[in-house]
Amino acid sequence: MKQSKDPFEAALEEQEESPPDSPVGEDELTSQTPNEAQNQTDGGQNILVDDDDDDYDDLGPTIKNPSHPSSSSTPKLHSTSVNASVSAAVTNKNKEYDDDEEEENVDVELSKFPSSADPTKMAKMQAILSQFTEDQMSRYESFRRSALQKSNMRRLLVSITGSQKISLPMTIVVCGIAKMFVGELVEKARMVMTERKESGPIRPCHIREAYRRLKLEGKVPKRSVQRLFR
Amino acid sequence: MSNPSTGASSKSKLGSSQPSETSFKRKRGVFQKDLQHMMYGFGDDPNPLPETVALVEDIVVEYVTDLAHKAQDIGAKRGKLSVEDFLYLIRKDIPKLNRCTELLSMQEELKQARKAFEVDEEKLGTLE
């Protein structure tokens, strides 16, 4: 699974809670190292999260945290030390996507919420997420972590516009828009299925019906010229 | 269903002198793996039907194409294509607009964090 959005949030969480030019933050991180699980070998390395795939090929050198979190990092997420929670979140975030423990991921997702969502919202989310079943948790995880690849999107945009100058923010925005569009499609398709009282995997006919309804609602941009030949 | 690859391959022939980096040959299933996870996250089966995924991919590509064309029309007045054009296009759709502004602000923060990291690393390097 791709992790393109969540690293943003992880870094955002860290960014908001520790000022950017804080050697203090660094020292705290390194001092936490003996307490933290062995994973955090170098405090400095934990500040940044990056994907281990080509989503970040536009950006500078990627820094990877190779180790897996141990369960001892989970309580750290609630510790008063902000950096500890950040680095633990970073560690949890940056591993290869094997969700060994759902509980860990619960806390990871929570601590990644931007604090523009105030603590009450976070508390609400925490309350909700703690009630999730395994199935719900895995689905939520897929929802959060899935994303369209930025490189593919960039290639598509270049071929559409004919211009090479597709900036990174543009790619990110279009990926986000496309993901939400997929969400609308799938949700509407599920609604169509319940109307028709069918069950099981979604079939193309449901998607087509959902697409038709979205078009009626005006959520799909209309072409000024009809697409005659596909 | 009609075969989009024929139309797309004619598109790619125009730019086929360039490597496939720029000419998008519209291979089947460019987004397929990601879309499977995404559809599961949004409510589909853990294993969506392949034809469903292919259809969704076609729809998404068409959506992005139309969006980009419209954005280009808007951007042409200004001179070049920018993010603002996309944001203008989805202005009516509040959830999407909020999500995009959130993504953009997070990206800014990430950039700042990275810059700070570079500075810190330098400091560490010189200290040690």
Q: For B55, which of A172, A178, A207 is closest by C-beta distance? A: A207
pLDDT at A180 over 90: yes
Task: Answer with the residue of higher pLDDT: A85 or A189.
Answer: A189
Residue of B24, B38, B88 to mutate for A, most A C-beta atoms under 10 A? B38
Q: Which of A73-82, A181-190, A192-201, B100-109 has the lowest mean pLDDT?
A: A73-82
pLDDT (0 to 100) of residue B87: 87
Tokens of B47: 């294993």
Work out the minimum CA distance from A39 to partner chain B, whole angstroms. Answer: 20
What pLDDT band is residue A97 in, cutting at 50, 70 and 90? Answer: very low
Average pLDDT over residues A169-196: 92
**Residue type (1 letter), A52:** D
Average pLDDT over residues A135-141: 92
**Residue type (1 letter), A187:** E
- B52 close contact with A: CB closer than 8 A: yes
Q: pLDDT digit string (tens) for A23-61?
A: 443 444 444 444 443 443 444 343 434 444 444 444 444
pLDDT (0 to 100) of residue A70: 41
Query: Is A44's CB within 8 Å of B120's CB?
Result: yes
What is the C-alpha to C-alpha distance for residues A69 and A65, in angstroms, rounded to an integer? 10
Ranges of H-type helices in A63-217: 73-76, 82-94, 102-111, 119-130, 134-145, 150-161, 168-195, 204-217
Nearest to A141 by CA among B96, B37, B57: B37
End-to-end alpha carbon distance in chain B: 64
Q: For A11, which of B48, B110, B124 is closest by C-beta distance? A: B110
pTM greater than 0.90: no
What is the C-alpha to C-alpha distance for residues A154 and A164, in angstroms, rounded to an integer? 9
Query: Is A144's CB within 8 Å of B119's CB?
Result: no
Average pLDDT over residues A137-156: 90
Average pLDDT over residues A206-225: 86
Residue B123 phi, psi (nearest 5)? -60, -45
What is the C-alpha to C-alpha distance for residues B6 and B12, in angstroms, rounded to an integer? 10
**Residue type (1 letter), A103:** E
Average pLDDT over residues A111-134: 76
Tokens of B123: 């400091």
**How many cross-chain Cβ pairs, A to B, lie less than 8 Å apart?**
221
Task: Answer with the residue of higher pLDDT: A64 or B43.
Answer: B43
- B76 close contact with A: CB closer than 8 A: no
Sign of CA dihedral A37, A39, A45, A51: negative
**Residue type (1 letter), A57:** D
pLDDT at A131 over 80: yes
What is the C-alpha to C-alpha distance for residues B92 and B94, in angstroms, rounded to an integer? 6
What pLDDT band is residue A230 in, cutting at 50, 70 and 90? Answer: low
| Residue-by-residue pLDDT tens, chain B, 128 positions | 444 444 444 444 444 444 444 444 566 678 888 889 999 999 888 888 999 999 999 999 999 999 998 888 888 888 888 888 888 888 888 999 999 999 999 999 999 999 988 888 888 887 76
Neighbours of A18 (CB within 10 A): 20
DSSP per residue, B64-123: HHHHHHHHHHHHHHHSS--HHHHHHHTTT-HHHHHHHHHHHHHHHHHHHHHHHHHHHHHH
Task: Answer with the residue of higher pLDDT: B68 or A21.
Answer: B68
Work out the minimum CA distance from A204 to partner chain B, whole angstroms. Answer: 5
Is residue A2 a contact partner of residue A51, using CB atoms and an 8 Å limit? yes
- B83 close contact with A: CB closer than 8 A: yes
pLDDT (0 to 100) of residue B128: 64
Average pLDDT over residues A149-156: 89
Nearest chain B residue (CA) to A203: B52
Question: What residues of chain B lie within 8 A of the CB of A7, using their CB?
Answer: 110
Work out the minimum CA distance from A206 to partner chain B, whole angstroms. Answer: 9
